[in-house]
Amino acid sequence: MVDKKKGQRLSRKEQVLGETTRDDRLAFFSKALVAWFEQNGRDLPWRRTRDPYKILVSEIMLQQTNVDIVIPIYSKFLKRFPTIQTLAKSSIQDVKKITDELGYKRRGEYLHEIAKQIFYEKKGQFPSNLDELLALKGIGRYTAGAILSFAFEKTAAIVDVNVERVLARIFGLWDWEKNAKFEKEIWKLSEAMIENGKNVWTVNQSILDLGATICIAQKPKCPICPMVEICEYYDRKVPKITPLDSFFSS
């Protein structure tokens, strides 16, 4: 492909960034993300289940908390409260004895309240649609999307700080003001990634991992990122030193 103005041959990256639509890049993104996750995805306890109760517990625990801190407490919690019924019938003091170890003490209250709502008001039937999930205490749009996509494998978008950072960098929104317009745009991108309904579980898990392990807030690891070819942040912000450059210059 040739740059019509300069008459020069375009690099593969210029072709991808300059000549393709956002939809093309989203399609590349979802595909590359899934391939990357198959090799690099983290094996986390809540990824070995589709039980909505266990996924709810993990998502409430993971709010503003590191995976390594959550893992042992998640296991301890499920040993003590293996079902929504055992949790609903326990005292809040017993629940908080475990959840307070994570800090942010509302977590135990949310989990206990949600368990009671589901067990007593919904006869133990775990909600599997967005509106019903959002009606539960302490559940926002991210957690509802995570439960729908991770437990029920439904087409539901997620946006947390990791997802926001990755999408903002790749699609050139990183310097936008963090206002309602920005939020709307990020949700639109997250929804577009999964709109074909394919691999929703994997696409959503992958972007969380990419944000947690590669596209980290400080010093993103661009040279080993599967998105370098389509990433606007990399294109404009990151010094172009590839692993091979540093190998030859050393």
Positions touching ligand SF4 (CB under 6 A) are: 166, 169-170, 214-215, 220-222, 225, 227-228, 231, 233-234
Cβ distance to ligand SF4 smaller for residue 146 or 214: 214
- In a 3-state reduction of DSSP, which class is residue 178? coil
**Element housing 111 (H / E):** helix 106-116
Instruction: Compute the distance between CA of residue 68 and CA of residue 250 in angstroms, rounded to an integer.
Output: 35
CB atoms inside a 10 Å sphere around CB 96: 17
Residues annotated as catalytic are 59
Q: Provide, rounded to whole angstroms, the least separation between the CB of residue 15 and ligand SF4.
A: 17
Cβ distance to ligand SF4 smaller for residue 105 or 221: 221
Cβ distance to ligand SF4 smaller for residue 142 or 171: 171
Q: Provide, rounded to whole angstroms, the least separation between the CB of residue 210 and ligand SF4.
A: 7
Contact (Cβ atoms closer than 8 angstroms) between residue 71 and residue 57: no
Q: Provide, rounded to whole angstroms, the least separation between the CB of residue 158 and ligand SF4.
A: 17
Q: Provide, rounded to whole angstroms, the least separation between the CB of residue 145 and ligand SF4.
A: 21
Q: Provide, rounded to whole angstroms, the least separation between the CB of residue 177 and ligand SF4.
A: 19
Cβ distance to ligand SF4 smaller for residue 52 or 220: 220
Task: Please name the residue that has the structure tokens 């998640």.
Answer: 74
Cβ distance to ligand SF4 smaller for residue 60 or 225: 225
Nearest to 126 by CA among 49, 203, 193, 71: 49
Which contacts qualify for 77-84: CB closer than 8 Å, 24 or more apart?
78/54, 81/115, 83/53, 84/53, 84/115, 84/118, 84/119, 84/124, 84/126
Instruction: Compute the distance between CA of residue 13 and CA of residue 20 in angstroms, rounded to an integer.
Output: 10
